């Protein structure tokens, strides 16, 4: 299956926006080669602002640009975009509901080599808690483009987290996309798994293996984490025997809690998510995902527990 970089897709999507929306400007905090915003800079140098390692100031400048009628896309690693800048996002962007778009790059554990200081396992929780904030995560490169096109249309703050992984392409540019919608990636009747980001890939692979054990698992991509569509989630849980939720984020404050806190569910369920712990360094992403029980095998074991099989 074809794999594509989500970061490259993001950089190229910004160029498309630059052509269609003259008011779009891009800010970065000395990471443009990694976030891929340098691609926008090469085409629109007068609309690109290198802010240096001064993330809080960058958010304040973005707020000012939004007040001036621009649509700023603000970029840095997810851990810095949300944690280091939380006060500025809350006070200067979310309270006045300014039209600022924040992209947290290298989200989750995907910056495997740099360890806990650079791994965002709490960014969704931080951004979900903010009134007026929309929270998104794409599962592949095509969905990055579709989300960026949607972000620019939303009046108000948006946070999108993007994985550093190069992931398989499951969606097509012909797929219908709308804020709050879910997408069924594979059908199943016994269990339903809700996932976002890189865990969609792992869920699909796990579903293929579970068939061999006689377990049918539906995989649902939940790209819009906030506002979470309760109707979209509810339609998938009728008649299933169990629910699984998978995310490359802490189970605290992420999609796991969003789903279980929004619905009155008496169905057996399991979470495949980061426990109450920080990340760490690893030689590669797969070693790290295995250490944190975020693999296809982790999903398979959880599914079999729910079905009471071995």
Contact residues for 38 (Cβ-Cβ < 8 A; gap 6+): 11, 32
Rounded to an integer, what distance in angstroms lies between the CA atom of residue 310 and that of residue 304?
6
DSSP-derived 3-state class of residue 94: helix
Return the closest-CA partner of residue 164 out of 147, 178, 144: 144
Within 10 angstroms of residue 91's Cβ, the number of other Cβ atoms is: 13
DSSP-derived 3-state class of residue 232: helix
Alpha helices in 178-271 (DSSP H): 198-210, 230-234, 255-262
Alpha helices in 86-223 (DSSP H): 86-88, 123-128, 141-151, 198-210
Residue linked to tokens 């309270």:
95
Name the active-site residue from 2, 16, 50, 55.
55
* CA separation, residue 153 to residues 30, 76, 161, 213, 291 (Å): 27, 22, 18, 45, 39
55 is catalytic: yes
Return the closest-CA partner of residue 277 out of 121, 125, 118: 121
DSSP-derived 3-state class of residue 72: strand
Contact residues for 86 (Cβ-Cβ < 8 A; gap 6+): 126
What is the set of active-site residues? 55
């Amino acid at each position: 299956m074809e794999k594509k970089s989500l970061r490259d897709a993001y950089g190229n999507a910004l160029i498309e926006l630059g052509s269609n929306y003259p008011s779009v400007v891009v800010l970065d905090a000395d990471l443009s080669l990694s976030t891929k915003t340098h691609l926008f800079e090469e085409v629109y140098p007068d609309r690109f602002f290198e802010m240096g390692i001064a993330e809080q100031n960058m958010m304040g400048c973005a707020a000012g640009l939004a007040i001036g009628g621009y649509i700023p896309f603000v970029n840095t690693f997810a851990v810095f975009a949300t944690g280091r800048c939380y006060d500025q996002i809350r006070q200067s962007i979310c309270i006045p509901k300014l039209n600022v778009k924040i992209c947290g790059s290298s989200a989750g554990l995907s910056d495997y080599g740099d360890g806990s200081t650079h791994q965002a396992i709490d960014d969704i929780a931080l951004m979900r808690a903010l009134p007026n904030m929309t929270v998104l995560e794409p599962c592949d490169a095509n969905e990055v483009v579709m989300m960026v096109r949607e972000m620019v249309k939303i009046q108000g703050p948006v946070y999108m987290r993007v994985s550093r992984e190069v992931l398989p392409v499951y969606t097509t540019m012909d797929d219908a996309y709308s804020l709050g919608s879910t997408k069924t990636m594979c059908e199943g009747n016994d269990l339903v798994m809700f996932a976002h980001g890189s865990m969609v890939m792992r869920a699909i692979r796990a579903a293929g293996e579970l068939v061999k054990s006689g377990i049918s698992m539906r995989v649902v991509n939940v790209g819009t984490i906030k506002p979470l569509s309760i109707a979209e989630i509810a339609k998938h849980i009728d008649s299933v025997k169990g629910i699984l939720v998978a995310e490359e984020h802490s189970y605290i404050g992420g999609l796991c809690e969003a789903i279980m806190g929004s619905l009155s569910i008496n169905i057996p369920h399991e979470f495949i998510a980061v426990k109450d712990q920080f990340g760490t360094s690893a030689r590669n992403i797969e070693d790290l995902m295995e250490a944190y029980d975020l693999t296809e095998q982790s999903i398979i074991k959880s599914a079999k527990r729910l079905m009471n099989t071995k």
